[in-house]
Amino acid sequence: MKRLHSEAFLDIKAEKLMIPLERVAHVQSKNNLEHALLVLTKSGYSAIPVLDYHDKLHGLISTPLIMEAILGIERIEFEKLQSILVEEVMNKEIPRVTTNSSLNQYLKLLVDHPFLCIENEAGFFEGIVTRRVVLDLLAKQ
């Protein structure tokens, strides 16, 4: 992207900076925790989006949330991984940004969140914008 004035920079739409769904590691709400842990571990990401079969966003799942769910009094109960569903454990309180939101509308959210989930006007998940992408672009300005 070419150099921008600060106003133009803040006007950049989420869809321009987005990593599209096809390249976002994610799980389905009805997957079990064993599958989610596998995807998280293999991808190397600390948290990933949770979608349904229609690509609607339901929340985020992370390794700490999974470990918390299987933590017993004296041991980690790994056998529980297969019987607990992602939807029982995921974080549903997540900020949602639409594809046509401009950076000045979602920049503040990136202070507390390493990435933001992007939905289209119909509420379908389209991708994520990461703090890294925004900082990288800023560094180039």
Residues that bind ligand AMP (CB under 6 A): 19, 23-25, 45-48, 114-115, 128, 130-132
Nearer to ligand AMP, 48 or 70 (CB): 48
Closest approach of Cβ 40 to ligand AMP, in Å? 9
Q: What's the CA gap between 24 and 126, in Å, rounded?
A: 9
Cβ of residue 10: shortest distance to ligand AMP, in angstroms? 20
Sign of CA dihedral 98, 96, 65, 85: negative
Provide the minimum distance between the beta carbon of 73 and ligand AMP in the complex, in angstroms, as a whole number.
30
Rounded Cα distance between 126 and 22, Å, is 9
Nearer to ligand AMP, 23 or 75 (CB): 23
The CA distance from 92 to 44, in Å, is 22
Closest distance to ligand AMP from the beta carbon of 30 (Å):
19
Nearer to ligand AMP, 9 or 115 (CB): 115
Rounded to the nearest 5°, which phi and psi values hold at 109? -65, -30
Distance of CA 56 to the CA centre of its chain: 13
